[in-house]
């Protein structure tokens, strides 16, 4: 059986692993990605200074060496090859291309210059080949005050990168142009805004605590922001992770000012309602909120204006449609039952989905493994029952790519890119430096 996995992030690699690790039916898997390199948001979404989390790449990388698994990078499904052509080449297709776009705030002034999506900012400092270098290399050195909207781990990552010294980041694999830009940063104040209270925030304690351990940045929390209502206090008392977060934030509220060069203002019960500016965002109007009995945030009418010439919106990722594949535009996912893609409630033969594009941007990296295993179980069940359509193209995907003049980066090409990045890092005393330019990646990969 031949299976195409579209997307090489954790869910895609876990799906490939599950397929080739079973013994019921021999399987060959091609992991197809539009980028020349694998691993998706593990490479381009996890903060470069979180080395332990990024090390999951090593685990994923081993799957690419398993018999029956092949990586095909630099191939865009919907442009270089159609879904119809994939069906001609494979018994089944597993869509695992993730949720890579940002959610919007929907407030006036959101499109002002200087207002950016966290997805784009993270892509820039991680060295994504499609990152908008010009924008961030212009904005970061000229900003003095930044507002980060959101209280998930990505928002904390963005805040930490803006508040750290370059010396604290020097051990990472960030591209050199990112170091050079951050070294020019004039940011002295970073405001991290959450519309609800500390008991409702989505970050994990480990990531949160790091904000209070930076060399030249101190955390400032208003005492009133850690005054919990009865329901929040009950949650903090009953859920250990929430209680730990509240304890960290409460301790911050008791700290005396240290006089460090940068300040991180962690604000709860605060929601942006408008961005103001001229040729660039200059301030954010923030409304004080309160929690309803249902735990939702409602406005109080009390307004504050925070000076900011950089605003990073970090209120979630969303999935996007792929060609004629069924798509739920309300939930931004591909509709399915147990991983089987459905159109109007009817299963599409041979199409499956896993990961964020299946369930939305929830869970941790490991969540994708269980999710992928469920999808693969459905696929194998359908194969055993004879429900998969039969591919009819003898030349397979290689013949299609040849016809379209597409040169894919194979597993061997990725190994060459990996070696080139390690060599580049060694020139500056680092384990690796990310190659960010697509042409350079392709050249290193022999394409």
CATH code, 224: 3.50.50.60
Cα(118)–Cα(350) distance, rounded to whole angstroms?
A: 35
Is this model's pTM higher than 0.75 or not?
yes
Number of domains forming the structure of the chain: 2
What is the pLDDT confidence band of residue 194, given thresholds at 50, 70 and 90?
Answer: very high
Q: Give the closest residue to 357 by CA, choosing from 376, 334, 337.
A: 334
Residues 245 and 338 in one domain: no
For the cut 90, the answer to whether the pLDDT of residue 393 exceeds it is no
- Mode of pairing for the β-strands spanning 262-267 and 217-221: parallel
CATH code, 395: 3.40.50.720
User: pLDDT of 292-349, one tens digit each?
Assistant: 988 899 999 999 999 999 999 998 788 889 988 999 999 999 999 999 999 999 999 9
Q: Percentage of the chain surpassing pLDDT 90?
A: 85
Q: What is the pLDDT of residue 318?
A: 82
Q: Establish if 170 belongs to a structural domain.
A: yes
Average pLDDT over all residues of the chain: 94
Which of 313, 344, 373 marks a domain boundary? Answer: 313
Cα(447)–Cα(445) distance, rounded to whole angstroms?
A: 6
Rounded to an integer, the average pLDDT of 374-395 is 90
User: pLDDT of 415-447, one tens digit each?
Assistant: 999 999 999 999 999 999 999 999 999 999 999
What is the enclosing helix (H) or strand (E) of 109? Answer: none
User: pLDDT of 120-174, one tens digit each?
Assistant: 999 999 999 999 999 999 999 999 999 999 988 899 999 999 999 999 999 999 9
Q: What is the pLDDT of residue 120?
A: 95
Beta strands in 140-246 (DSSP E): 145-149, 189-193, 217-221
For the cut 90, the answer to whether the pLDDT of residue 248 exceeds it is yes
DSSP string, 37-65: SS-HHHHHTS-TT-HHHHTHHHHHHHHTT
Cβ–Cβ under 8 Å, residues 217 and 261: yes
Rounded to an integer, the average pLDDT of 42-65 is 89
Residues 77 and 211 in one domain: no
Q: Establish if 441 belongs to a structural domain.
A: no
Residues 222 and 113 in one domain: yes
Which of 313, 340, 364 marks a domain boundary? Answer: 313
Residues 89 and 112 in one domain: no
Q: Give the closest residue to 91 by CA, choosing from 379, 353, 342.
A: 379
Rounded to an integer, the average pLDDT of 380-389 is 95
Cα(374)–Cα(228) distance, rounded to whole angstroms?
A: 40
Find the length of the chain.
447
User: pLDDT of 203-244, one tens digit each?
Assistant: 889 999 999 999 999 999 999 999 999 999 999 999 999 999
How many angstroms from the chain centroid is the CA of residue 13?
Answer: 16
Residues 175 and 297 in one domain: yes
Residues 385 and 264 in one domain: no
Residue 359 is part of which domain span? 2-100+319-408
């Amino acid at each position: 059986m031949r299976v195409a996995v579209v997307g090489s992030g954790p869910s895609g690699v876990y799906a490939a692993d599950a397929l080739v690790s079973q013994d019921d039916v021999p399987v060959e898997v091609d992991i197809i990605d539009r980028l020349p390199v694998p691993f998706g948001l593990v490479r381009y979404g996890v903060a470069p200074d979180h080395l332990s989390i990024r090390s999951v790449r090593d685990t994923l990388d081993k799957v690419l060496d398993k018999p029956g698994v092949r990586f095909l990078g630099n191939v865009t499904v919907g442009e270089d090859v159609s879904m119809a052509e994939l069906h001609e080449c494979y018994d089944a297709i597993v869509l695992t291309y993730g949720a890579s776009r940002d959610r919007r705030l929907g407030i006036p002034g959101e499109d002002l210059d200087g207002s950016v999506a966290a997805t784009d900012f993270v892509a820039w400092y991680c060295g994504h080949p499609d990152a908008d270098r010009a924008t961030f290399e212009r904005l970061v050195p000229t900003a003095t005050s930044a507002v980060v909207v959101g209280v998930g781990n990505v928002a904390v990552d963005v805040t930490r990168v803006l508040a750290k010294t370059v010396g604290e980041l020097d051990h990472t694999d960030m591209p050199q142009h990112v170091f050079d830009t951050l070294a020019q940063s004039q940011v002295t104040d970073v405001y991290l805004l959450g519309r609800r209270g500390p008991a409702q925030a989505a970050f994990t304690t480990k990531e949160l605590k790091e904000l209070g351990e930076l060399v030249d940045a101190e955390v400032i929390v208003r005492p009133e922001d850690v005054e919990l209502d009865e329901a929040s206090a009950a949650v903090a008392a009953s859920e250990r992770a929430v209680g730990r977060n509240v304890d960290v934030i409460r301790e911050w509220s008791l700290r005396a000012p240290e006089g460090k060069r940068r300040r991180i203002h962690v604000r709860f019960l605060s929601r942006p309602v408008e961005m103001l500016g001229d040729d660039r965002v200059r301030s954010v109007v923030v409304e004080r909120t309160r929690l309803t009995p249902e735990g939702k945030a409602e406005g109080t009418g009390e307004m504050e204006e925070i000076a900011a010439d950089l605003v990073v919106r970090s209120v979630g990722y969303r999935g996007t449609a792929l060609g004629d594949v069924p798509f739920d535009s309300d939930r931004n996912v591909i509709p399915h039952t147990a991983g089987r893609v459905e159109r109007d409630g009817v299963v599409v033969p041979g199409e499956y989905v896993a990961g964020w594009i299946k369930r939305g941007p929830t869970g941790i990296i490991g969540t994708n493994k269980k999710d992928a295993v469920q999808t693969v179980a459905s696929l194998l069940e359908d194969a055993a029952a004879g429900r998969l359509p039969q591919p009819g193209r003898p030349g397979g995907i290689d013949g299609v790519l040849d016809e379209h003049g597409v040169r894919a980066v194979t597993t061997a090409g990725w190994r060459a890119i990996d070696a080139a990045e390690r060599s580049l890092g060694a020139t500056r005393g680092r384990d690796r430096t990310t190659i960010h330019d697509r042409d350079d990646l392709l050249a290193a990969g022999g394409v």
